[in-house]
Amino acid sequence: MTGLRARQKADRNRRILQAAASLFREVGYDSARIEDIAERAEVSVGTFYNYYENKGDILVATVSMEVEEVLESGKAIVENPPATTLDALQALIDQYFDHSLVYLSKEMWRIAMATSIQQPESPFSRRYTELDGRLCDQVSMLVQKLQLRGAVMPGIDAVAVGQMVFNNLNMMFIEFVREDALTLEALKERVARQNRPLALLISSPRIQ
Amino acid sequence: MTGLRARQKADRNRRILQAAASLFREVGYDSARIEDIAERAEVSVGTFYNYYENKGDILVATVSMEVEEVLESGKAIVENPPATTLDALQALIDQYFDHSLVYLSKEMWRIAMATSIQQPESPFSRRYTELDGRLCDQVSMLVQKLQLRGAVMPGIDAVAVGQMVFNNLNMMFIEFVREDALTLEALKERVARQNRPLALLISSPRIQ
DNA sequence: CTTAAAAAATGAACTCATTCAATCTTTTTC
DNA sequence: GAAAAAGATTGAATGAGTTCATTTTTTAAG
């Protein structure tokens, strides 16, 4: 059986993560003090820092859980995408965007992104970066799938195209969380317009 | 004549910005304390906060000066770009990248970007965002110029293409400053590969 | 020139995030 | 099962960013 120590550790970790996530939701990131998180998790402040390097780190951890769900839900679309390139790309991207604000506010996204840029070496920033990479791969895989199906012309560098589409949507998402007034619908429309030229040009002539 | 008050204000502002920029260069961002910046600028800590909202803000201000230079140097390329689409795009982008590390370290970029994401409402974040927008416009203008010249096919949405190219290079730049091991050369190569499919596809057939 | 009002500067006090030496708990050794 | 070693927890102390009531300086009014 797993040792007592390992079990206690897993349990404390879960409690801290849960306490932080709930406090962030209730009072926002800035107003949630480490002391409060520790108290709700029934550990000391010092223990908090045994589990997370700093305050931003634990927010990135909660965001990572979210991204993992997005990745999972994207699989279905990559498996069985709409027929045309543009529709397929938009279906996947809209899925990403729709998921983004279910559990997390724009503020939380801002801080998570900022933290992952500012302290790229912290364990959870690495994790976040790795998940970003997997999202990027997912877009590339979709383009490859469309290529196999004949919807995208052969000879196109599917990976390069996938990366460009992903980087574009990621940057647009940053813009979206930066600007409180921007709606999800406006974001989707803008990205759709940006994708159109590339999507049409890489598509096989008869299928467009 | 400009009142005494206005002159003193401009002068203090200049001193604070200069003090911060030099301290950041000498000891790095984290080790530069507001107290030290204030002392070097010969103002009090409180006065510092009358001019800048927080520590990140003044870094964003120094970075903004930098971006302004990059914008300026990009004008020449947009005025008179290389003949082919790919070469023209790469010339502009390489110019951006080459400029980026002249005065600023990767660490400073990280913090400036993080701050501008985290506090999008602060005046200098707005300024930074605005400069980003102008860089994006510059790329779009280059594509439009190529279109007028006949290097890019008519009927292509030049603005959409420019935005996508810019967002891609911007995201890649974030990746670059996040990863200390990544070299400028590697960055350029990656972006060149990503740009190739789009650049070739939008080019007029005979010119490629 | 004096006085009142407005604008800015000041720095001590405050708030947290973070650290670390001391303490306690679990595991391993014999 | 006692003792030693390893692993974790603890919370008071630290230190840096930020605030704000007070003071000083500048401008405008009489």
Is the minimum distance from the CB of A8 to strand D below 7 Å?
yes
Mean pLDDT across the stretch A97-103?
92
Q: Please state, in angstroms and rounded to a whole number, the distance separating the CA atoms of residues A186 and A174.
A: 14
Residue B185 has pLDDT above 90, yes or no: yes
Alpha carbon of B109 to those of A65, A165, B96, B146, B155: distances in Å? 27, 24, 14, 31, 37
Instruction: Kindly state whether residue A159 falls inside one of the protein's structural domains.
Output: yes
CATH code for the domain of A16: 1.10.10.60
B102, B158: one domain? yes
CATH code for the domain of A178: 1.10.357.10
Crossing angle of helices A106-118 and A55-79, rounded to 10°: 110
Confidence of residue A39 (pLDDT cuts 50, 70, 90): very high
B48-80 pLDDT, tens digit each: 999 999 999 999 999 998 899 999 999 999 999
Instruction: Kindly state whether residue B140 falls inside one of the protein's structural domains.
Output: yes
Residues A124, A117: contact at Cβ < 8 Å? no
The answer to whether the Cβ–Cβ distance between B195 and A164 falls below 8 Å is yes
Mean pLDDT across the stretch B128-150?
97
* Chain A stretch 119-178, residues whose beta carbon is closer than 8 A to a beta carbon of chain B: 120, 129, 156-157, 160-161, 163-165, 167-168, 170-172, 174, 177-178
pLDDT at position A205: 83
B42, B63: one domain? no
Instruction: Kindly state whether residue A207 falls inside one of the protein's structural domains.
Output: no
Return the residue of A nearest to B133 by Cα. A175
Mean pLDDT across the stretch B151-174?
97
B166, B181: one domain? yes
CATH code for the domain of B77: 1.10.357
pLDDT at position B4: 81
Instruction: Kindly state whether residue B207 falls inside one of the protein's structural domains.
Output: no
A158-203 pLDDT, tens digit each: 999 999 999 999 999 999 999 999 999 999 999 999 999 999 999 9
B186, B95: one domain? yes
Number of alpha carbons in the 13 Å side-chain half-sphere of residue A29? 22
| Phi, then psi, of A55 in degrees rounded to 5 | -65, -40
pLDDT at position A124: 86
B33, B71: one domain? no
Instruction: Kindly state whether residue A171 falls inside one of the protein's structural domains.
Output: yes
Instruction: Kindly state whether residue A208 falls inside one of the protein's structural domains.
Output: no
- The range of the structural domain enclosing residue B133 comes to 56-202
A148, A169: one domain? yes
Burial track B115-142 (b if 16+ CB lie within 10 A, e otherwise):
bbbbbbebebbebbbebbeebbbbbbbb
Residues A139, A166: contact at Cβ < 8 Å? yes
Residue A84 has pLDDT above 50, yes or no: yes
Residue A206 has pLDDT above 80, yes or no: no
Strand D nucleotides with an atom less than 7 Å from a protein beta carbon: 7-12, 16-21, 26-28
Average pLDDT, chain A: 94
How close is the nearest chain B Cα to the Cα of A158, in Å? Answer: 9
pLDDT at position A3: 86
- Winning range, highest mean pLDDT, from A101-105, B114-118, B163-167: B163-167
Helix (H) / strand (E) containing A167:
helix A158-178
pLDDT at position B208: 44
A63, A155: one domain? yes
Instruction: Kindly state whether residue A104 falls inside one of the protein's structural domains.
Output: yes
pLDDT above 70 as % of chain B? 98
B72, B21: one domain? no
Tell me the ipTM for this assembly.
Answer: 0.91
Alpha carbon of B17 to those of A13, B14, B28, B130, B200: distances in Å? 43, 5, 15, 20, 44
Query: By mean pLDDT, which of A26-40, B34-48, B111-125, B166-180 is the weakest?
Result: B111-125
Q: Which long-range contacts (CB under 8 A, 24 or more apart) does A130-135 make?
A: A131/A64, A131/A67, A131/A68, A131/A71, A132/A67, A132/A170, A134/A71, A135/A67, A135/A70, A135/A71, A135/A74, A135/A96, A135/A166, A135/A170
What domain count does chain A have?
Answer: 2
A75, A175: one domain? yes
Average pLDDT, chain B: 94
Q: For residue B203, what are the β-bridge partners?
A: B152
B143, B71: one domain? yes
Separation between the CA of B112 and the C1’ of C10 (whole angstroms): 28
Count of CB atoms situated within 10 Å of the CB of A190: 16
Which of B11, B34, B51 finishes a domain?
A: B51
Instruction: Kindly state whether residue B208 falls inside one of the protein's structural domains.
Output: no
pLDDT at position A207: 42
Confidence of residue B119 (pLDDT cuts 50, 70, 90): very high
A92, A191: one domain? yes
A6-29 pLDDT, tens digit each: 999 999 999 999 999 999 999 999
Which of A51, A69, A84 finishes a domain?
A: A51
Residues A100, A175: contact at Cβ < 8 Å? no
Q: Which pair of tokens denotes residue B70?
A: 């990059």
B35, B75: one domain? no
pLDDT at position B42: 97
